[in-house]
Amino acid sequence: MMSLNTDFNEKQIEILLVAESLFADNGFEGTSIRTIAKNAKINIAMVSYYFGSKEKLLQALASYRLKDLRFEIENLVTEKLDPREKMKRLISLYINRFNCNKGIYRILHFELAGGKSNIKLEILDDIRLKNFNALKRIIEEGQAQLVFKKDVTIELITPTILGTFFHVYMNKIYFQNLLQLEKESDFEYYIENTVTAHIQQTIKGLLIYEN
């Protein structure tokens, strides 16, 4: 498995941000190294020098954008908190990171994870497996303490979180009109508060015994 590289210099980060914008707007397959170099105002050879290929550039972008969430989840798992509070915070972490890094999650979730591309990202598989294991540890901790149900389909918890968030995000105009969210900040507030609280309540209903 490929490990997360966190050592990017200023020029590399500049290239990654340009590539992220282009991948999100035009798709991975629809974006060439030449276009990335042109928009970053650099020579094509510099992209190859830093990243080697477009696929490896995408690997680096995933590493750059996802590393903080990976560390935060690892820290959360080891905190001395009630499993219910851990799950609540985990959902907040996910939604916050998704909302702050929409570009990379749009690329990974809808193009790569959705099977639209032949690109195989080892780093994505590695991150997803580690995040799943962290989620599993929290749920198993709650089950051991008899606060979470035993019959939990753990592998569908993350898709439930992702599905709700991305449905709202991809239907942004509909929800803005429906809820009269005139400003961009109003929609962001709705995501950070109402959507997050709804997902937390949904997951709580799946995990916790009914009274």
**Interatomic CA distance for residues 187 and 32, integer angstroms:** 33
pTM comes to 0.81
Q: At 88, is the pLDDT very low, low, confident or very high (cuts 50, 70, 90)?
A: very high
| Helices (H), ranges, the chain | 10-26, 33-40, 44-51, 54-78, 83-100, 102-106, 122-144, 157-170, 172-179, 184-189, 196-207
Per-residue pLDDT tens for 19-66? 999 998 888 888 999 999 999 999 999 999 999 889 889 889 988 888
**CA atoms within a 13 Å half-sphere pointing along the CA-CB vector of 79:** 15
Q: Is the pLDDT of residue 3 over 60?
A: no
Residue type, 18: V
